[in-house]
Amino acid sequence: MRTVVLLLLPVVLIGSSIPLVNQEHCVGLFMTDRGPLLVAQEDDSKEILLMFLNETFEPLRIVRLAHVRPDRINDATMFDDKLILVGHSSSRPSQRSIYVCVIDLDGKVLKQKLLNFSGAATWAEALLLDEEGIYLAGGYNTLKKSWFDAFLLRLDWNFEVVWSRTTGGLSDDWFHRVKFIDSRLLCVGSTESKTKGKADVLIVLYDKKGRKIFETSFGGPDWDKAVDALEFNNRIFVLGWTNSYTPHRSGLLLEMSLGGRIIKEHLLDLGSDFSPAGIVAIENRLLVYGVVWNRETRFDPVMLVIDKDASLHNKNIIPLPNDQTVRGVVLWAGQILIYGESDNPVTGKDVYVLEFDIESIL
């Protein structure tokens, strides 16, 4: 396994933390004709918030969906000036069901549905769209066993189930992200059923009819998990984290052929706990983002720039007060926007957006 040695370089940023009364988590950030739109959910009240921001990311208007209160919204995407959100809600005690809805930018709910699978608990963590329908990835539990199978579900635009697929064994298996790879569906997550240690990276490729093309796993003697993936430079790059090869949590970047063969494994070791959150392509490089423990009792955002041969080009740590969580990035007009949650001594957690010039990162 190749270990990447990292150097610290400065980064210029502007941004805003958005203090609210309660504790919130970010769901997504979108650029609209009305300006930046940050979607969040209050953890206690379960209210969904549409937060329209100005150019310095301060809230101009907040629309509250007080009448829509799913237990948890995990992912969102925008299409035709509408938002589709997915998560879960409890249909009965101890049974979670997938919740999906479409809303306009004024907060009007156009369609919503709770997807009940008889005798099963389901959880959707990731969302993907195309002209044919909606793909949801997460976990599935029949309630007759004490573990989850990894779960991929296709819906039509009326929220009717077209097909569903599970993969797993005699312990917990999970999909954390679904991405298009050459018009096919790549699901990545973790497996405790097919593992060399406590958990391994799980990678499964399906066609659009739900037929499995390949399934593979990777890991060592401890915990390993995949959180994101993309196609880049005629390769599949799977991002995750590992406790198997360092005494702390490190990033893990698997380089694969389009046919599913693991070509190289790259260890992203920052010298302390590093939790990657996602990966995107910028020009001819990859950007890995997440949080790192900076040895001053807090987690800070970090962005790693990776060349197409998977060697490190640049590293940027953004020192901020208190603990931070990174949920995602958006590339917009030569800028990188990074968003997530920031610990607040009063409310417990606020949402934030930071803006960087791409050239300062690359």
* DSSP, res 223: B
pLDDT digits (tens, 9 = 90+) for 83-118: 999 999 987 767 889 999 999 999 999 999 999 888
Taking residues 311-338, what's their average pLDDT? 90
The end-to-end CA distance of the chain, in Å, is 25
Q: Provide the pLDDT for residue 14.
A: 53
**CA angle (24, 28, 30) in 5-degree steps:** 130
What is the CB neighbour count within 10 angstroms for residue 56? Answer: 10
pLDDT score, position 23: 87
- DSSP symbols for 62-122: EEEETT---SEEEEEEEETTEEEEEEEEEEETTEEEEEEEEEETT--EEEEEEE--TT-EE
Say if residue 6's pLDDT is above 60.
no
Cα separation of 326 and 353, whole Å? 10
Q: Which pLDDT belongs to residue 8?
A: 37
Say which residues have a Cβ less than 8 Å from residue 208's Cβ, sequence separation at least 6.
Answer: 132, 154, 183, 184, 185
Q: Mean of the pLDDT values across residues 12-39?
A: 83
Which tens digit of pLDDT belongs to each residue from 155-208? Answer: 999 999 999 999 998 899 999 999 999 889 999 999 999 888 899 999 999 999
